[in-house]
A = this chain, B = another copy of it.
Amino acid sequence: MAVTIREVAKAAGVSTAAVSKVLHGRGNSVRVSDVRAAHIREIAESLNYRPNAVARNLRIRRTHAVGIIFENFGSFANGPLYYMHLFEGVGGVLFKNHYRMTILAEIAHDDVLSSLGDGQLDGVVWCKLTRDPESLALIHSCPIPIVAMNAPAPTVPTEAVFVSCDNEGGIDLAVQHLVALGHRRIAFLYERQELDTPDRQARLEGFHDAMKARTGVDATAEDVLEWDWLLPEFSGWWAAKPPHTAIICWSERTAGNLILQATSAGLSLPGDLSIVGFDSTQYCETTTPRLTAVCQPIYEMAAAAATTLLAMIDGMPPIQSSFTFPCTFDVRDSTTTPRSPLNAENPS
């Protein structure tokens, strides 16, 4: 059907080796004179020759394709924008380097497993955050180079590379910001979830550390709110007149939902309650008030992941087995000085 390299060779009166060399310039033991090269190019053009990449991939044992796997493909559009940024960031680097990106949807776990070893992918970027044993096993025994985003740090020696942000440091920025505004009683909020994720865990730990460090007082159990998202827990909590003047949410969406609940419960934001989110995307601009949030350098992280992966594919051993990026902090409109600042605790 399609024109093959053999037909081009025949039409040009040369060997397939010559055509291959001229058109793709790889073999270094093949030499072609300039005159012939030009002729070959001409013939190929006139025959409208399109090289078959599959055959080439088979021979050179490389496809220039990288897989990317998410735990939540299928609910991307309704989920946090974080994933989309990650997706774009990784894609950008890959495309610039003439790699393609293939989505690995985890319809079945076995599908993923066999995808990784079937020769169609040169490497994988792993964007699943859950720490289920199967995923971990897969990461640690992946037959091709793999970089894991925000995944749990390795406990056993592995060839995988891990990229994440400094979750603890990010939460510390949030606490610092609130303390500077005059807040002292600060809560940390997350939704009840089936599977724990390492980033949520890290942020919770960061909260405890930061509270101790910045206020001098240990956070207590009542400072950690674990809510089932569908229930109107907010109203009950608020009605009980909690001592908190600010809430740090473990994620952007959590913060957004909190804003909605607080607003519909009649609170005036940020006066009645300061709210901080984690992950600073376009979404933070669309809430009312606009959401103050910790910002992961997602594009840098994605670029580091992709760049490292490509280096690994090229056979270079990774410089580091894990990369951790510092967070920044984006102040918007959802935080302000507490209604009754230091007075409550320290009347002047």
- Chain A contact residues, CB within 8 Å of chain B: 2, 50-55, 57-58, 63, 65, 73-78, 81, 84-85, 87-88, 91-92, 95-96, 98, 100-105, 107, 111, 114-115, 117-120, 143, 256, 281-283, 286-288
Contact = CB atoms under 8 A, between A and B. Distances in A.
* Identical chains bound together, number: 2
A54 B119 contact: yes
Contact of A50 (B65, B101, B118): B118
Contacts of A57: 54, 120
Contacts of A120: 53-54, 57, 65
Contacts of A76: 84, 87-88
Nearest to A286: B286
Nearest to A117: B50
Contacts of A95: 105, 107
B53 A119 contact: yes
A173 B152 CA distance: 50
B88 A74 contact: yes
B73 A77 contact: no
Contact of A101 (B63, B102, B111, B114): B102
Given A65-B102, A119-B54, A81 B77 contact: yes
Contacts of A283: 286
A118 B50 CA distance: 6
Given A52-B58, A54-B57, A91-B105, 12 more contacts: A2-B119, A50-B143, A54-B54, A73-B88, A76-B87, A76-B88, A77-B84, A77-B88, A77-B282, A96-B107, A100-B115, A283-B286
